[in-house]
Amino acid sequence: MTVDIRRAREDDDARLLEIDFATWTTSVSPAPPPAREERTSFFDDRRNAGDYLVAEVDGKVSGFVLVRQAIPIESHEHVLSINELAVDPAVQGRGIGGALIEAAAADAARRGARKLTLRVLGGNAGARRLYERRGFVVEGVLRGEFLLNGELVDDVLMARHL
């Protein structure tokens, strides 16, 4: 299996949308589910191809990550955040998520960031282990931040210094 990471292109749109639909659950996202009948494109006014990195596995787009400045002010330019990370369920568990995280960290460092942050739902143990293996540590926990499926869920803030 060969994994290549590259900048996303406009022609990745349909495949990234497929992955987004295939990976969304309340265990990974507090946001409302993507509406298939309303959403026909991955890229839109909030999502630009050039902002994403994609993983190709044996030539097929199989995952993506978005790194951006979460607080767009000058005093916060040294901190970038992983805002989206998804890997096609058909190829999960093969190191693709880790490769995307490492590529995101390298990209953030090239852009001058000193710290890379992310937020993960408290119950998403698999993602938390993945992030910890990649050098992220818990910096804070917002207890009961989300109400998902009738249950209060923590929002865990993690960071990795670059």
Phi and psi torsions of 17, nearest 5° = -65, -40
Tokens, residue 156: 């865990």
| pLDDT at 45 (0 to 100) | 86
| pLDDT at 96 (0 to 100) | 96
Residue 35 has pLDDT above 80, yes or no: no
**How many domains does the chain divide into?**
1
| pLDDT at 36 (0 to 100) | 76
Angle at 53 between CA 132 and CA 118, to 5 degrees: 35
Q: Is the dihedral of CA 10, 11, 17, 22 positive or negative?
A: negative
Over residues 15-39, the mean pLDDT reads 87
Domain that holds residue 69: 3-161
Instruction: Say how far apart CA 14 and CA 90 lie, in whole Å.
Output: 17
Instruction: Say how far apart CA 78 and CA 122 lie, in whole Å.
Output: 26
DSSP 97: H
pLDDT band of 37, cuts 50, 70, 90: confident
CATH number of 93's domain: 3.40.630.30
Separation in Å, CA 128 to CA 44, 131, 146, 161: 29, 5, 17, 17
